[in-house]
Amino acid sequence: MTVAVPPDHHATAPRGQAPQGEASQGQTPQGAEPRAGGERRMTPLSWLLLVLGIFGFAAFWVLLSLAWDRQCSWMAVLGALDIAWMMRLGGWRPGPRRLAFGVLATVAIVLFANWGIAAGQYGAVMGLDPLDSASKLGPNFFLILFQLANTGMDLIWLGLALIVAAVASR
């Protein structure tokens, strides 16, 4: 019985080795960087996915809090899990860098969401929509509103979110 050899395959290459100029599955082509464990490289789309995750989740949290007229600080824990998942989908390599960016992204979600909640609550009193109110809200006034709106239990949820972000993002 004879086996047909595809036209682009050289019959002279020993079994298990690729012909010259071609890379086998275990080797990297000339000039390419080897990747540990077959992981993907980070691309600009990885960063875009992270940024969309931050602002998308913060917007969802703001809408939920304004609809329920509560802080909904437990959403910070879900935001930490969402960011960890987005970073894995984006091809971020495990390690201290992913952990640090996961925690920083969770802090960004908490800050943007609380800024939006404060702007929405205060803007409703002043007759402004949340976007106009958010542009007029300064950092000092935001800090005062943040301290007044968040109870001890809310701060526990926010602290727990940072721990979840660190564990889930590593």
The C-alpha atoms of residue 112 and residue 128 are separated, in whole angstroms, by 18
Give pTM, 2 decimals: 0.74
Q: Which residue has the higher pLDDT, 44 or 155?
A: 155
> Could you give the dihedral angle defined by the CA atoms of residues 163, 165, 169 and 170, in that order, rounded to the nearest 10 degrees?
-20
- Per-residue CA distances from 117 to 45, 55, 124, 125 (Å): 29, 14, 11, 13
pLDDT at 131: 87
Burial annotation 49-85 (CB, 10 A radius, 16+ → b, else e): bbeebbeebbebbbeebbeeeebbbbbbbbbbbbbbe
